[in-house]
Structures are given as C-alpha cells and as structure tokens.
C-alpha cells in the first residue's frame, strides 16, 4: 500500500492511525505543528508547512484533527491525494456513498442509501440510518444516533450520545451537545443542548 501521512498527531490522529493499520497500511507517519518525535511508534516528519514537499503523487493523506473548521481549512489549502478510511468493523450498507478524506470508525453503522460527504468523521459506534445526508466536514460523535432521512449541514458537530429523530434537518455550523435529543429542525447555526434540544447560544 501507499505511504500514509496523517495531519495532526493528537488523540484523533491516534485513532486514525489504528484505523489505518486495520486497513493494511504499514508505512504511516504524522505531520504536526505542535509536536515532534513519535506517536504510537510512528514518526512525526514535519509540520503542515512541509505538506507540499511531502506530496510525491504516490502518498495518501488524511486529516487527523477533530475541529471541523480546521479540517475544512486544511482540505481546501492542500491539493493532495485524500484517502477515506473505513474501519473493518464498521457496517456500510448498499448504495452508501462516503466522500474522500472521511473516516468511519470502529463499530459505526451507515445504513442504506445514506450519503456522507468529504472529510467527515463518523465516530465510534455512531449510527446513521437510511437516506441520511451528511454534508462535508461534519462530525458525528461516538454513540450518536441519526434516524432515517436526516440532513446534517456542513461543519456541524453532533455530540456524544446525541439522538436526532427521523426527517430532521440540522443546518450548517451547529453544535449539538452530548446526550441531546433533536426533535425539530434546526435552521439557525449555534449550540443546542438538552432533551429536547434547545438553542443555548
């Protein structure tokens, strides 16, 4: 397999490295603007400024940063070969589309005819039901559950254990708090929390 460079050597980058190992990558390294040395035995070979010279046309890249806005900035800045990583234990149904740069973590479920955009995070044991549309740079956190025909906007973060019922639209650039229950459309960007979820800022 190609060499894989993970941009960001923090916690999310570590989980991506493990995902990459499960996908058969053996030549794995990191770039990070704030760390040096090694992570999980894999070398940190430079900073983001080094990405252009590390791009030899054969190397795969993926962003290991949880912040949606930062992920978007990096993806739009560098024209490298972005790879998608789907953990072998994830369950991906028929007619599902997963965009470039997206990571699907262990135990996640994406059901029939869902569409997941580019550079998204579908985290550990998240459930995305049938006919969902997850726009670019969104993050569906561990154990979050999205009912059927949910639309999640660009850069939106659905928190740990949150639930979104069927046929709901969550607009771009929202944060849905951990454990929240979304029972009506969210048409205004902001932070939502509670059961049922309400805008708090």
Per-residue pLDDT tens listing for the chain (201 residues): 799 999 999 999 999 999 999 999 999 999 999 999 999 999 999 999 999 999 999 999 999 999 999 999 999 999 999 999 999 999 999 999 999 999 999 999 999 999 999 999 999 999 999 999 999 999 999 999 999 999 999 999 999 999 999 999 999 999 999 999 999 999 999 999 999 999 998
| Residues known to be catalytic | 130
User: Distance between CA atoms of 25 and 6, rounded to whole angstroms?
Assistant: 12
CA 145 to chain CA centroid, Å, is 15
What whole-number distance in Å separates Cα of residue 70 and Cα of residue 137? 9
What pTM, to 2 d.p., does this model score? 0.96
Query: Would the CATH topology of 4-77 be identical to that of 85-191?
Result: no
Cα 98 from Cα 109, distance rounded (Å) = 12
Beta carbons within 10 angstroms of residue 180's beta carbon: 24
CATH class of 4-77: alpha beta
Positive or negative, the CA dihedral 139, 143, 144, 150 is positive
Delimit the domains of the chain by residue range: 4-77, 85-191
What is 85-191's CATH number, 3.90.550.10, 3.40.1410.10, 2.160.10.10, 2.40.50.100? Answer: 2.160.10.10
Torsion 151-192-128-8 (CA) sign: positive
Is the distance from CB of 101 to CB of 119 less than 8 angstroms? yes
């Amino acid at each position: 397999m190609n060499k894989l460079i993970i941009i960001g050597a923090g916690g999310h980058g570590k989980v991506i490295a493990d995902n990459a190992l499960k996908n058969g990558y053996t030549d794995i390294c990191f770039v990070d603007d704030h760390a040096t040395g090694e992570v999980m035995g894999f070398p940190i070979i430079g900073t983001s400024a080094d990405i252009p010279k590390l791009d030899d046309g054969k190397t795969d890249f993926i962003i290991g940063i949880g912040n949606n806005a930062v992920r978007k900035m990096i993806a739009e800045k560098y024209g490298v070969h972005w790879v998608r990583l789907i953990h072998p234990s994830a369950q991906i149904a028929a007619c599902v589309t997963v965009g470039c740069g997206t990571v699907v973590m262990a135990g996640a479920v994406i059901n029939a005819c869902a569409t997941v955009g580019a550079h998204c995070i579908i985290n550990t044991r998240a459930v995305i039901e049938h006919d969902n549309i997850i726009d670019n740079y969104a993050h569906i956190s561990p154990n979050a559950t999205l009912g059927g025909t949910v639309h999640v906007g660009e850069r939106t973060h659905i928190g740990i254990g949150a639930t979104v019922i069927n046929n709901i639209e969550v607009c771009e650039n929202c944060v849905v708090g951990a454990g929240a229950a979304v029972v009506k459309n969210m048409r205004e960007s902001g932070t939502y929390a509670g059961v049922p979820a309400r805008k708090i800022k």
